[in-house]
Amino acid sequence: MQWERRAYLDHAATSPLMPEARRAVTAALESIGNPSSLHADGRRARDLLDEAREAVADRLRCAFAEVVFTSGATESANHALVGLALGSQLGKRRTILASSIEHPCVLQLAPTLRALGFRLETVPVTRNGVADLDAWSDRINEGVLAVAIQHANNELGTFQPVRAIADMAHSAGCAVFVDAVQTLYEPWTVDDLGADLVALSAHKIGGPPGVGALYIRGGTRVNALLRGGSQERERRGGTENVAGIAGFGAAVRALASHGERFRRARREARDAFLRRLSELLPSAWRPTVTAAEVLDGHAHVLFDGAYAERLLIAMDLLGVSASAGSACSAGSLEPSPVLLAIGLDRETAKGGVRFTFGWCSTAEEALWAAERSSEAYSRVVART
């Protein structure tokens, strides 16, 4: 069967599996051992976990034992923040602060935390999607248990002043949770971020879906959420996803070897896409944010006179895969909460489209996608 040509510009949602990760997953699936078993097959499975944990620990520049494997970043965020609440012995610290543009896996924890006697409160961002440091300074106090801040926003791609917020939080005795799901391509360490807890996801970097990790700095009191076994040093019960974790480790090692090339590919594809879109539609769109440092692989734009929902359908029919925001909130007809949080009105926010590029993106693919996106826009506008 002959497949139509397509351009995949939704790497922030999930990125294609790297060859190295595919080989690691396939090889691990041939292993029959449970990593908790003491026989030779179990020891081989345990070796695969240890190799992957070592790769992640080396990437983060942290201790081997500080890496806990999970089912993905959503579980990692839940483990970090709910686990902190469950493990808290600081009676007066009943507030968790999060930026107003955090991922739903953080913001939607509010009811759970409230049931445990804690409050999740949000801190505003600027029009350019960057944390307002003055607002954070005003809100961090002795009643705060932890702060939650993305390293870079998943929709806009804007980097956040994580270290400055972490320093404020630590001065007040608060723990710091960082969602670093979108930034494993970048050369940072946990000490650079000043983080006590960091959430990671494999499928954002070319690893398999359904696996992630939570960095827990030694001495941080975080209760386990999943019980029923002694796996992950009793921090996460349940038999480990050996094949997925092996693939995650392989993707992390590939980043260590080829990270600069991958970053350059993302940047060149993104820039080529925007240049061509400007040539084809010089006055029909504008960047959503303009004065912020943005990830190499992100381009979030506002189209004039066309709703994102209709544009994405038209683009899809022409072979372009893009999105209107977080895949975890897809299906909603409402404008993106992130765009509303940066101060856009509802009508303007409905025109926001996110194009994201990854390790395998090329300028040639991006140019073709820009032409199809322009055609899609023209079709949508002609019908309105």
Q: Write out the two tokens for 236.
A: 């996460």
The CA-based angle 34-64-146, given to 5 degrees, is 110
The CA-based angle 309-153-313, given to 5 degrees, is 15
Q: Where exactly does CATH 3.90.1150.10 map onto the chain?
A: 7-15+259-383
- 182/357 Cα distance (integer angstroms): 11
Helices 40-60, 242-280: axis angle to 10 degrees equals: 40
Model confidence at 383, pLDDT cuts 50, 70, 90, reads: confident
3-state secondary structure of 370: helix
19-254 is classed in which CATH architecture? 3-Layer(aba) Sandwich (3.40)
CATH superfamily, with its number, for domain 7-15+259-383: Aspartate Aminotransferase, domain 1 (3.90.1150.10)
- Cross-strand bridge partners of residue 159: 152
Give me the pLDDT at residue 228, please. 87
Q: Write out the two tokens for 223.
A: 């209760």
Using one digit for the tens of pLDDT, what is the confidence trace for 130-173? 999 999 999 999 999 999 999 999 999 999 999 999 999 999 99
Using one digit for the tens of pLDDT, what is the confidence trace for 204-232? 999 999 999 999 999 999 999 999 888 88
280 CB burial (10 A radius; 0-12, 13-18, 19+): middle
CA 327, chain centre distance (Å):
11
- 21/100 Cα distance (integer angstroms): 34
Handedness of CA 155, 254, 241, 180 (dihedral sign): negative
In Å, what is the CA distance from 212 to each residue of 55, 155, 358? 13, 20, 18
360 is catalytic: no
Within a 10 A sphere around the Cβ of 275, how many other Cβ atoms? 14
- Global confidence as pTM: 0.94
Using one digit for the tens of pLDDT, what is the confidence trace for 107-136? 999 999 999 999 999 999 999 999 999 999
Q: Where exactly does CATH 3.40.640.10 map onto the chain?
A: 19-254
Q: Are strands 144-150 and 320-321 parallel, antiparallel or unpaired?
A: unpaired
Q: Phi first, then psi: what are they for 303, rounded to 5°?
A: -95, 140
Give me the pLDDT at residue 256, please. 93
pLDDT at 2 over 50: no
Point out the catalytic residue in the list 105, 174, 328, 360: 328
- Which H or E run contains 29? helix 19-29
- Cross-strand bridge partners of residue 301: 287, 353
Model confidence at 335, pLDDT cuts 50, 70, 90, reads: confident
